[in-house]
Structure 1
Amino acid sequence: MTAVAAGLAACSLTFNWREVPIGDAGLVALLPCKPDRASRALPLGTQSVNIEMAGCEAGGATFAVAHAHAADAAQAAAWLGAWQAATRTQLVGATFTEAAATLPRAALTPAAVRLDARRGGAEERPAAQILWFAQLRAGGVSVYQATVLGAPDRAEATSVFFDGLRLP
């Protein structure tokens, strides 16, 4: 994977891929630029949850990974469900394709989900591509949302981003 990113970086000044640690649970993301970091409270169901984010803009798209820590698998599943619903609400007018996803070492419950949102016909490039997943950890569950907003100049950038997510 790192070789693919290095090859893409060598061909493009727009995408300068780098490994970025996300949260304190060990996830490493491959981002196409130096990320900005922020945290904010996000209403997930009946709770306000502190979400930590790292993201940047490159090649006409925004690449970001958000992280939160849940107490257990039931809380993680509820949060991810609320996160998915909130995201759909923000993408008014889009059509959605949702599918089960896999990520090495991700929890089976709650299961990983991939959502592609398109504005326009099926031939249009996605307006947003989102992956939600979790990982069981000692003392709780780490939940994540990895997002590409917009259509990057290089179509393979989205694959490099999602394939570059690595859980310990």
Structure 2
Amino acid sequence: MPLPFRSRWAPLILLAAALGACSPVFNWREVPIADDGLVALLPCKPDHATRNLPLGGGSVSVAVDVTGCEAGGATFAVAHATAEDAAQAEAWMHAWRAATRSQLTGAAIAETQATLPRAAGSPAPVRLEAPQQGPGGPMPAHVLWFAQQRAGKMALYQATVLGRPTSAEAPGVFFEGLRLP
């Protein structure tokens, strides 16, 4: 004898409702960054902001667009600025790296050359790793700086994971998900 309609579908409806109520910690999605064509893989719905950073030397501030979010105990962000030429890009990138290192006072910092498909060779991509040095020290940081020439100008980027994500694979997924056009 066949089961009534409600009896047959009740377990599936309950399962669908339970799955719908679950929210994964890392809900990866592709997000376009600025209008330059970079696509980042972020683990959550991003927020957007613009801040002025003193990259231009002296009292000159540069507008930097930031797209990022927090998930699983860490902040994932991509910052973007546009330099007029390669010389300005090199100077700004040097200042950007120095400003980041100064915020990590007390951390063991390791900087290495990095690679990213279609990134400019100058300024060259650089990776920074700063693990947490015990309780009370700066939060762990993973940073990648890179640039790309676009329409006669230089697009500069800083991709950052700040904190210790609940998934050890999350920083790798984030950095491997950066795609330049």
TM above 0.5, one fold?
A: yes
Select which of 22, 43, 58 maps to 1:32. Answer: 43
Superposed CA RMSD: 1.5
Structure 2's unaligned 5+ residue stretches are 1-22
Determine the structure 2 residue equivalent to 1:85: 98
| Matching residue's letter, 1:147 | T
Aligned pair 1:157/2:180, yes or no?
Answer: no
Counterpart-to-counterpart distance in 2, 1:105 and 1:38 = 26
Match of 2:180, as an amino acid?
Answer: L
Aligned mate of 2:55, from 44, 60, 63: 44
Give 3-state SS (helix, strand or coil) of 2:123's partner.
Answer: coil
Alpha-carbon distance between aligned partners in 1 of 2:26 and 2:90, rounded to the nearest angstrom:
34
Query: How many pairs align?
Result: 154
- If the length of structure 1 is used for normalisation, what is the TM-score? 0.88
Q: How much has 1:45 moved relative to structure 2?
A: 4.2
3-state SS, counterpart of residue 79 of structure 1? helix
Aligned AA for 2:93? L
Pair 1:108-2:121 in alignment? yes
Partner of 2:157: 144
- Contact 2:130 2:142 (C-alpha < 8 Å) held by counterparts: yes
The letter for the 2-side match of 1:87 is T
- Which of 23, 27, 30 is matched with 1:19 structurally? 30
Computing the radius of gyration from Cα coordinates, the structure with the larger value is 2
Q: In 2, distance between residues paired with 1:137 and 1:55? A: 23
- Kindly state the Cα deviation for residue 118 of structure 1 after the two structures are TM-superposed: 2.0
**Structure 2 CA distance, aligned partners of 1:35 and 1:90?**
23
Is the 2:66–2:78 Cα contact (8 Å) retained in structure 1? yes
Deviation, 1:138, is 1.2
Q: Which structure has the highest strand share of the two?
A: 1
**Residue aligning to 1:134:** 147
Counterpart-to-counterpart distance in 1, 2:176 and 2:132: 24
Within the candidate set 64, 69, 73, 1:60 is matched to: 73
Give the deviation of 1:151 after TM superposition: 1.1
TM-score (norm 2): 0.82
- The one-character-per-residue Cα deviations of 1:133-156 (angstroms, maximum 9, x if unpaired) are 000111200000000001110000
Higher relative contact order (CA 8 A, sep 6+): 1
Residue type at the aligned position of 1:37: H
Q: 3-state SS of the aligned residue for 2:90?
A: helix
Aligned residue number for residue 3 of structure 1: none
AA paired with 1:73? A
